[in-house]
Structure 1
Amino acid sequence: MKTLRRAFAGALLACSALAFGHQFHIGFTDLSYNARSASLEVVHTYHTDDVDALLANLYQRQFDLSRPEDEAVLRKYIEKQFWIAGADGKRLPLRWIGLSVGPETVVVYQEVANTALAQAAVIHHAILSDFLADQSNTLNITENGTVRTLSFNRQAQEQPLR
């Protein structure tokens, strides 16, 4: 439930930016541990028009993310641009849960099953920063009720978690 509230808050922040004419290219990612499922949960929120522009630029066509084949294209891109590595440098197996698409935001859900937050050592976050020079991605990490924030952009795509 906390993850959904955070995702909703991120979506509201993104929507408020849209109210000002979408002057900023920002994304929000929440990373937290769900004790009930014993999994790391990842929730990304981006402006729909930024995602649409990216996909149109890459493939020279319009996408309908409600179609499974178009969702698969976005999935492939997200999985290339965002990953979590353990202390051994190997990528943790992020599982695609799905996405929700609205007129203003695209929200992507992923998880790493049977993995505690302590097992994550490095985050690579380059979603949209390869396409939009001024893209800024904020990653909120919730651990034991405390939230830490990391910022990613074109110049800083990879950071240690600890």
Structure 2
Amino acid sequence: MDQLQEDVTCSICLDVLDDPVSIECSHNFCQGCLMAHWRGVSAQSYQCPECRTPCSRDRMTPDTRLRALVKKITEPLREEMELQGPGAQPEPGRPVQLVRLDDKGSLILYEEALSLCLEQGGVGDAPVCLVSIIREQRQGKSFLMNCLLRRLQSPEAVDASWMG
């Protein structure tokens, strides 16, 4: 299920695709994320955020099959969270997205996700680390975040084995 969820993740916001669209190079993004990414860029210089292939904004098409797949994958996860009730905690050792970019490029706080993290049992006196990496596309943000998460998931490693 984790691998499937990774396949339906937007590489711009790093969240599950919302209103997925396909562009000419066959990459998929949330429509809002792609529009925000291209905002302020001249029409002649639209590029795919992943492969940098020149694209046309007019050739962006809704991907209904991918939307249906996203729904099939995420509904069981939502139902599980609802069954656990308010204050249900995210899976330990997993990153939780607390902010996102809106269609104007402004940061939006996911207050509910923050509350779920802070209100779960045993958090009271525990140290908290908020890591925020914001930068232009293709500048190594995902690589850096993955390295940090691998290290946090293998605190006992004394050599470089945690790098995978």
**TM-score (norm. length: structure 1):** 0.26
Q: Which has the higher helix share?
A: 2
> Relative to total residues, which structure has the larger strand share, 1 or 2?
1
The structure having more radius of gyration, on CA atoms, is 2
| Higher RCO (C-alpha 8 Å, min separation 6) | 1
